[in-house]
């Protein structure tokens, strides 16, 4: 496999991983804008824009777009995050140029017909309503608000029904002019496509559409909370709990240490929390840890799905395990197992062209560097016992804990249990 970065006028970047042994290609247009870059009045516009790019261009209607990709046997989709939006396809190598042309057309030439806007806003409002009936998704939004407040990373990706109900074509065009910029975009390729082929496609279908001169894009500062608790009392049979601590940012030098720590704390079936809270005590249906890294900050989360009556007992059990980790540290056997698990996951990820495209695009967008699996493996091999134990003590400071709860009222003082 060969990775190569390509740079263009205006700041556009592409990254290519040529894998000649496969017959498929995945391509993603990554734009460095998401809910973090919105304001209260336009929260949800990133996600709304993502939906609308599939609803018609000058030459194709919404059904024409779907038919065009499926005529080539290709898969087309998109997703919006806190800091990025990605539009991508996966096709067989025979049709990579045709699909790239189509993806470029919807990216640059969508017309945002008002009738389509009205239809799609109904779909998104249903999506927002679905979250209210999805405890885990709702808890994810609540813990973000607890950790980061009402701005930036604390905003929901979907936005509010009020905002979605009034977004117009002019709103979308204004948002795209401010954020869909060449220096804010990375195009990632993975699969049976060379850097020369990728360069040719970009030169033909992308460069004529992007402005050549860079445009200044303002950043967004992010505040973080400490000891903040938020709850949504809902009549669910199961409750969801999220515990969150400030942690390392994306691609931070401590990220490999945190990745190892995560596997041991709650990242798999052999983890401390899974074995104790679920397997030995039977207190939770699911319990796991999941760090989230952003460009300038991050958080380490522990998520639980439990019976409301078990809330206090379960949280005390979690605290007991964290206290054991802080006092006694991890073992060499745990460190070795975590390293092996992570290296296997990295190697397995190379078997998926879409997974590689995602890793390349996100890493280049956030760091300006090429994602290299061999480097990641070397970083994992370099993680030491003392480094993991040090990060455990640094991370699980109960004075920095934020918490969220979704479910029936329990009367439990969640933060008070972590004194």
CA distances from 61 to 49, 52, 58, 104 (A): 16, 11, 8, 15
The DSSP code sequence of 333-393 is: HHHHHHHHHHHHHHHHHTT-HHHHHHHHHHHHHHHSS---HHHHHHHHHT--HHHHHHHHH
CA distances from 129 to 125, 133, 231 (A): 6, 7, 18
> Which conformational region is residue 349 in: left (phi greater than 0), alpha (psi within -120 to 50 degrees), or beta?
alpha
Span between the terminal Cα atoms of the chain, in Å? 51
Q: Which residues contact 348 (CB under 8 A, 6 or more apart)?
A: none
The Cα 243–Cα 318 span in angstroms is 10
Indicate if 50 belongs to the active site. Answer: yes
The Cα 324–Cα 90 span in angstroms is 46
3, 17, 38, 50: which one is catalytic? 50
Active site residues: 50
């Amino acid at each position: 496999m060969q990775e190569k970065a390509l740079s263009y006028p205006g700041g556009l970047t592409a990254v290519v991983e040529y894998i000649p042994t496969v017959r498929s290609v995945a391509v993603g247009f990554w734009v460095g804008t998401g809910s973090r870059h919105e304001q209260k009045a336009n929260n949800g516009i990133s996600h709304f824009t993502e939906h609308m790019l599939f609803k018609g261009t000058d030459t194709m209607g919404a059904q024409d777009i779907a038919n065009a990709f499926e005529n080539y046997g290709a898969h087309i989709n998109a997703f919006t995050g806190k800091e990025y939006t990605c539009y991508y396809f996966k096709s067989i190598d025979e049709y990579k140029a045709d699909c790239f042309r189509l993806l470029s057309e919807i990216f640059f030439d969508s017309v945002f017909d008002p009738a389509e806007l009205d239809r799609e806003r109904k779909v998104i409002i249903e999506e927002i309503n679905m979250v209210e009936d999805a405890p885990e998704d709702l808890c994810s939004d609540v813990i973000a608000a607890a950790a980061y407040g009402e701005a930036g990373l604390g905003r929901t990706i979907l936005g509010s029904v009020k905002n979605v109900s009034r977004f117009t074509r002019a709103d979308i065009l204004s948002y795209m002019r401010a954020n869909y910029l060449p220096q804010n975009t990375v195009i990632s390729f993975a699969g049976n496509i060379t850097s020369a082929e990728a360069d040719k496609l970009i030169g033909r279908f992308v460069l004529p559409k992007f402005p050549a001169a860079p445009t200044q894009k303002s950043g967004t500062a992010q505040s973080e909370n400490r000891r903040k608790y938020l709850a949504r009392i809902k009549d669910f049979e199961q409750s969801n709990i999220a515990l969150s601590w400030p942690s390392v940012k994306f691609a931070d030098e401590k990220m490999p240490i945190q990745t190892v720590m995560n596997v041991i704390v709650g990242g798999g079936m052999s983890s401390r929390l899974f074995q104790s809270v679920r397997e030995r005590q039977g207190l939770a249906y699911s319990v796991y840890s999941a760090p989230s890294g952003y460009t300038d900050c991050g958080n380490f989360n522990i998520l639980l799905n439990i019976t409301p009556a078990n809330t206090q007992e379960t949280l005390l059990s979690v605290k007991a395990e964290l206290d054991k980790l802080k006092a006694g540290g991890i073992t060499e056997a745990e460190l070795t197992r975590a390293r092996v698990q992570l290296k296997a996951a990295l190697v397995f990820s190379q078997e998926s062209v879409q997974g590689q495209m995602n890793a390349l695009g996100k890493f280049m967008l956030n760091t300006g560097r090429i994602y290299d699996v061999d480097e990641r493996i070397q970083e994992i091999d370099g993680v030491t016992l003392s480094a993991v134990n040090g990060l455990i003590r640094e991370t699980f400071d109960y004075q920095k804990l934020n918490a969220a709860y979704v479910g029936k009222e329990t009367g439990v003082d969640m933060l008070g249990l972590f004194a």
